[in-house]
Amino acid sequence: MVSIYKNENNSVKIKKFELLIKEELLSLLSNCDINELNNLSCFENSLTKENIQEKLNSLITDENIQIYILQNAQKIIGLYFLNSLSNTEKYISFIIVKDSRNKGYGKLGLFLLIQELSKLYPNISNYFFKVKKDNIYSNLIILGNNAEIHNENDTEIIYKISKGNNTWIHRIEKDDMQRIMKITNDAKYLLKQNGSLQWQQGYPNEDTFINDINNKSLYGIYENNNLMAYGAYILGKDINYVEIDGKWDIPANEKDLAIHRVAVDCNCHGKKYGIKILKYGIIYAKKLGCLTVKVDTHKNNIPMQKCINHSGFVYKGIVKIIRDKLDNLRNAYEIVL
């Protein structure tokens, strides 16, 4: 078991805002992009260059809004704002300072915040987040904390994280190899029981996953710090997808993201973890600037087919897996981003 968030010496902390640091907070907010601030649910596009100072002052003193700060070694690296919907539900919006982005702090901060709020306010049952669909960074942070889509329209998504959430998505490291292989071997057994030769010819093995980890492409779902599901996000042109009995919307190319090696702990079937791995991969692909996401599975792997279809992929034909000597045809699916 490995710590799913790298927080050596507890250097990253979440704490409630105190008026003692009001000027520091005002200075930080004033230096943020006004468009990013307007995306926060506590502002709702009300900020202009003329009223920003007044609005920021009002926000900090508003008794209906709680502010939590994320610190790393005493430096403020993020802000989380809580608006009350009721005694049992709250809206959360957040912003991470630019030089601290893409380092995992946003996802870690949200995880720590919800753990803290669960202790302070045990009556809160749900946390909601309103995010624009094109805000890839915020979508990854929220989805990475096991959020469910509560509602959505053409431009925005409202996510919900329920009370007691102890699950999130994080990149896997070598410390979890024993758990990876336990999940893998159990999955191989189930596939064999279902009459499939998928994963029955030596693949995937420990070397496969070591390569994924070295390439920083293996991501997992953790419950209480224990790995319970995984999937590999492979960027680039997949040789297995060059030829297809059917037709891709966009032929295999270097701006593809292929999702491979998806497996879920046998005790977690029914928790939709396979779908979560796929949907997180779709948002991750957008962050990387990919054109499409592609995935394949065996015709007898009905649970995986259900996950793929539920995640929005479209069936495109049959591909041949080059490494497999037997039973090497797979159903192929695609999403154009």
∠ CA 43-115-163, nearest 5°, is 80
Considering the domain architecture, whether residues 81 and 46 belong to the same structural domain is answered as yes
Considering the domain architecture, whether residues 159 and 217 belong to the same structural domain is answered as no
In a domain, 251, yes or no: yes
Considering the domain architecture, whether residues 191 and 141 belong to the same structural domain is answered as no
Residue 213: the pLDDT is 97
Considering the domain architecture, whether residues 258 and 120 belong to the same structural domain is answered as no
Considering the domain architecture, whether residues 181 and 302 belong to the same structural domain is answered as yes
Considering the domain architecture, whether residues 178 and 143 belong to the same structural domain is answered as no
Q: Could you say which of 128, 150, 165 is where a domain stops?
A: 165
Looking at residue 71, which CATH number applies to its domain? 3.40.630.30
Considering the domain architecture, whether residues 250 and 269 belong to the same structural domain is answered as yes
Q: Could you say which of 135, 165, 195 is where a domain stops?
A: 165
Q: Could you say which of 148, 165, 182 is where a domain stops?
A: 165
Residue 4: the pLDDT is 39
In a domain, 200, yes or no: yes
Domain that holds residue 117: 8-165
Considering the domain architecture, whether residues 103 and 192 belong to the same structural domain is answered as no
In a domain, 1, yes or no: no
Considering the domain architecture, whether residues 325 and 179 belong to the same structural domain is answered as yes
Q: pTM value? A: 0.87
- β-pair partners for 81: 67, 93
Q: How many structural domains comprise the chain? A: 2
Per-residue pLDDT of the chain (337 residues; tens, 9 = 90+): 444 345 554 678 888 877 656 777 777 777 788 888 877 777 776 778 778 788 778 877 787 888 899 988 878 899 999 988 787 888 999 999 888 888 889 999 998 999 888 888 888 899 999 999 999 999 999 999 999 999 999 999 999 998 877 888 999 999 999 999 999 999 999 999 988 889 999 999 999 999 999 999 999 999 988 999 999 999 999 999 999 999 999 999 999 999 999 999 999 999 999 999 999 999 999 999 999 999 999 999 999 999 999 999 999 999 999 998 889 999 999 999 9
Considering the domain architecture, whether residues 48 and 188 belong to the same structural domain is answered as no
In a domain, 2, yes or no: no
In a domain, 3, yes or no: no
Considering the domain architecture, whether residues 208 and 132 belong to the same structural domain is answered as no
Residue 3: the pLDDT is 43
Considering the domain architecture, whether residues 151 and 175 belong to the same structural domain is answered as no
